[in-house]
Structure 1
Amino acid sequence: MSDPDWWRGAAIYQVYPRSYQDTNGDGLGDLKGISRRLPHIASLGVEAIWLSPFFKSPMADMGYDVSDYCAVDPMFGTLDDFDEMVAQAHRLGLKIIIDQVLSHTSDRHPWFVESRASRTNPKADWFVWADPKPDGGAPNNWLSNFGGPAWEWDSVRKQYYLHNFLTSQPDLNFHNPKVQEALLDTVRFWLDRGVDGFRLDTVNFYVHDRRLRDNPPLRMTDAQKARQTNPYEYQNHLYDKTRPENLAFLRRFRALLDEYEDRTSVGEVGDGRRSLKTVAAYTSGGDKLHMCYTFDMLGPDFSAEFVAKRIRAFEAIVKDGWICWAFSNHDVNRHVTRWTKPGGSPEAIARFAIALLACLRGSICIYQGEELGLEEAELAFEDLRDPYGIRFWPGFKGRDGCRTPMPWESGAGHAGFTSGLPWLPVPDQHRSRAVDRQDGDPDSVLSLYRQVFAFRKQELPLVKGSIHLLDSPKGVLMFLRSFENERLLCVFNFSQSPVDFAVPAEAVGIAALPLPGAHGRVEAGLLSLAGLGVFVGRTGCTP
């Protein structure tokens, strides 16, 4: 039966196409490779797949610089390959969400080629152009995420154009209604091909301040400044992103999606300290995005107190909207590496983290290889392909360490990813965690992921229920998930040491999560939980 709310509480699996499976020996993953591996994804028990960009592109930023929104880049295959992949995914019960990069294009997109040709052509104002200051300098102090000013001089128009990322990624002018119409037409193209939703890249970057006002400095302590490797973080980005006019476009986008059955949208919100307020604005009212995700859980902070603070903030700020939690993606170090303390066990963190993610209120997203417990790859500078990492090396080593090819077969060349030379090397340490080594092993991380997703699906409080934080000892996170008359008590010991403390006496553990301490004993209202232990139990306790 049709379910327009299938996305609410869903588990989504992110595929980075160039690193998933190569079928033609060129060392680059492709759409046929994804089709070949769809049974693996389906076996996890997730509801949907998010595909990172596969559109035609010069690949200056690995496909996030689009030169044709309605074409598949030849390195990934053809439109027919895409259609077959979608059909096969649907046969397996999987939804397909594609990455839409609407804030900017490639400088080789025909729209920009025409726009930069003169100040009077039909697309002259499709991008953000501005005259120089009297001294020839950039129009304002805005900075690029990828380093340096956010403005590039064009010798033909004798003006600057805005680029929030690479100079080869010019920003579209959303103040022009024709630009919005053209972008929505590209969205309709993919809706008509049967995609089930869109992940909107840099969704809060669409609209810029018409007056091009300077961003003020961000108040930071000296210690905070010392941690920054990118000067972009020194500004309070009031005028180059998250402008109020963005909401009008999101309403137009949602209205288009609502013309089709059971479609969804998830926006990427990179907005620093304002992120949850932005999520609230973008997902409230049922007339904009269905859900958003932020970078709140994609950093180095991992403690009971930090997670509780994020949950409390979300529940207080986002009243009628929805969030999609993630611990890893293609832009950050893998969480197993980020959160494993010196001398700690990466596998224990992998097990603990997926249990936590599955119990949070919201939809959840996992990144390819996470289900194997993969750690961040250590790459030499000469192996890097990420322009961001190359720009800021060695203070920041870039994003390639989480983008290395998926290891399928431990004993095969390049771990079964390709018969050719892979675009990034396959780390030797990933071979021992390959799919064929874990598949069928009931004690593997892969097996645990399957069990966790099956458990989450059958427990309505985890999918649809409310969340209520409970007082707990330092280093322990405890909350109730409630739906109708069902209540689950979820307890997570973030410390490495055992802990005993009081819980509702009637709590009964559910033997579904094979984790250290997962079957912690409750005797006379006292829970005994091992280090990095998890307890999920039924209870009659009320908030």
Structure 2
Amino acid sequence: MMREWWRDAVIYQIYPRSFQDSTGDGVGDLNGITQRLPYVASLGVDCIWLSPIFTSPQADMGYDVSDYTDIDPLFGTLADFDRMLATAHELGLKVITDQVLSHTSDKHPWFVESRKDRTNPKADWYVWADPLEDGSPPTNWHSHFGGPAWEFDAMRGQYYLHNFLSQQPDLNFHNPDVVAAILDTARFWLDRGLDGFRLDTVNYYFHDKKLRSNPPAKRAGPQVMATDLYGMQDNIHNKNQPENLAFLEQLRSLCDQYTDIMMVGEVGDMGQRSIDLMAQYTAGNGRLHMAYSFAMLGPDFSPEHFRRCIEGFQKGAPDGQPSWSFSNHDVPRHVTRWAKHAVSEDAIARLSCAMLMSFEGTIGVYQGEELGQTETVMEYHELTDLQAIRFWPGIKGRDGCRTPMVWDSTAPNAGFTTGTPWLPVKGPQVAHAVDLAEASNDGILQFYRDTIGFRKTHPCMTQGKTAWIKLPDPLLAFTRSVDDRHLTCVFNLSAEPVVLHVAGSGTLTGPQNATLDADTLTLPGNGFAFIDHADKLKLKV
């Protein structure tokens, strides 16, 4: 049986608003993406993932969908989408899109009808509940955007559930008509030739039908008022319900009617719970093809953390498929996030690329990551992210990682738009422009191309199983093996050089910045090495 394309794929995430504007309105669009697809293909990636492009009032930048089967005019038309999809396929790129199924916009016709009264055909398509006797919300659940996860609607005299903005009411997946309608929207895009879905908030589809309140979160040490109220609860009743699995099996069954389709679900949790859910949601052959985790998208940068994430998944779902990323559109860029561990921005960009590309599973790269792009420092008056505006300055928000791609350092707005960009293009970001990167034979962009190429051509990187090597901090090391071929991967997660003793015969290969002299491996600060060997190799400090 032929190995599925997504098994060791590198997926490139495009944030359409910020990739390329073709009209001069300051917002990226589908035709702009089509224009830049040759560049994406030149990286050696296998697939592009598009953040939402569907019809939306844009209260949450497209994650509030008002029509699941059409393109928002901000990004173009269905014809533009078809042209982009055809171009991608011609270049050998698969295409998946964000599917935001747990909730819609409050402007969606389904919700407009549902809120009219308690007896209309879609009255039970959303999560409605009566107030408690004192008028307060039905449960203590919090929204991710602050305040209760319930909004009172005077038209119905009831509260509706919203895990995110109040403009994003949650669908009632306990209603089979809702499930059928959602499956129809997925079928629409599969029939159009889409290669799969990135399922947003995949563990939020079902809520506790008994509407039980959440207990407080368990925290070590003194409790302090959190900026994020959501994190003050153990969110066991508003997400991660067992019914999620049955729905995913229905969606998988639909996808299996087509050829080479892949579903990757975003597990919206942190820490060990995220790893446990990844294992549960990918177990067997009837659920998600793989799970996308936030486990590596935080500040933790230690060998123990990375090993715990990967090993935890290996133990929990030995036949499952993980998807690992260091950056995306919701978190600060990792070059900035991990700066305190770095010799320099370039050093941490190279180290993180080498690490990520060596991990077993599917890999995600966020646009600009291949340029060593840094987080944009935002001022309050520049913000568009409602979460940041509400919680400023306690939460800086997501605008800093969403600023436009920088293509041409000599052009206005770095070639992103001829108009006024929706988010600012600033000097520190322009310094990483594609034209400057292309002019360098040994820069970050070329390093990404080389490392992706190494991952795709070395059999241990594509199919090798991972065996961990016990070394003290700050070293992360493991061997990936297939048949009688072995590749030992060693990473120095500190800014200080480290020397290791090597017992056995091996050869440095692929991208590396270490030296192997007889039995001594020297790693500079943020250094890394790939050692090819046939027999056993032992490392010790």
How high is the TM-score relative to the length of structure 2?
0.97
- Render the CA deviation track for 1:268-324: whole Å, top value 9, x for unaligned: 001234111111111011100000111110000112222122222222222221110
Where does residue 275 of structure 1 map in the other structure? Answer: 274
- The 5 A counterparts of 1:283-294 are 283-294=282-293
- The 5 A counterparts of 1:183-332 are 183-222=182-221, 225-226=223-224, 228-272=226-270, 273-332=272-331
Deviation at 1:144, TM superposition (A): 0.3
Aligned AA for 1:516?
Answer: N
Deviation at 1:542, TM superposition (A): 4.8
Where does residue 422 of structure 1 map in the other structure? Answer: 421
Where does residue 116 of structure 1 map in the other structure? Answer: 115
Contact 1:3 1:262 in 2 (8 A): no
- The 5 A counterparts of 1:326-341 are 326-341=325-340
Where does residue 513 of structure 2 map in the other structure? Answer: 516
Deviation at 1:505, TM superposition (A): 1.9
| 2:457 equivalent to 1:462 | no
- Render the CA deviation track for 1:185-232: whole Å, top value 9, x for unaligned: 000100011110100000000000000001111110246x55942010
CA change 1:168–1:422 in 2 (3 A) is: same
Contact 2:99 2:200 in 1 (8 A): yes
- Whole-Å Cα distance in 2 between the matches of residues 299 and 117 of structure 1? 42
Contact 1:4 1:262 in 2 (8 A): no
Contact 2:115 2:155 in 1 (8 A): yes
| 2:525 equivalent to 1:531 | yes
Contact 1:21 1:33 in 2 (8 A): yes
- The 5 A counterparts of 1:485-496 are 485-496=484-495
Contact 2:341 2:493 in 1 (8 A): no
Contact 1:504 1:541 in 2 (8 A): no
Where does residue 389 of structure 1 map in the other structure? Answer: 388
- Whole-Å Cα distance in 1 between the matches of residues 205 and 66 of structure 2? 18
- Whole-Å Cα distance in 1 between the matches of residues 477 and 303 of structure 2? 9
CA RMSD for the aligned pairs? 1.4
SS at match of 1:481: strand
| 2:12 equivalent to 1:13 | yes
Greater Cα shift, 437-446 or 338-347: 338-347
Deviation at 1:147, TM superposition (A): 0.6
Greater Cα shift, 324-333 or 498-507: 498-507
Deviation at 1:342, TM superposition (A): 7.5
| 2:162 equivalent to 1:181 | no
Gaps of 5+ in 2: none
Gaps of 5+ in 1: none
- Render the CA deviation track for 1:225-264: whole Å, top value 9, x for unaligned: 5594201001111110000011000000000000000000
- Render the CA deviation track for 1:104-157: whole Å, top value 9, x for unaligned: 000000000000001000000000000010111100101101110000000010
- Whole-Å Cα distance in 1 between the matches of residues 13 and 467 of structure 2? 29
SS at match of 1:203: coil
Where does residue 44 of structure 2 map in the other structure? Answer: 45
Greater Cα shift, 316-325 or 170-179: 316-325
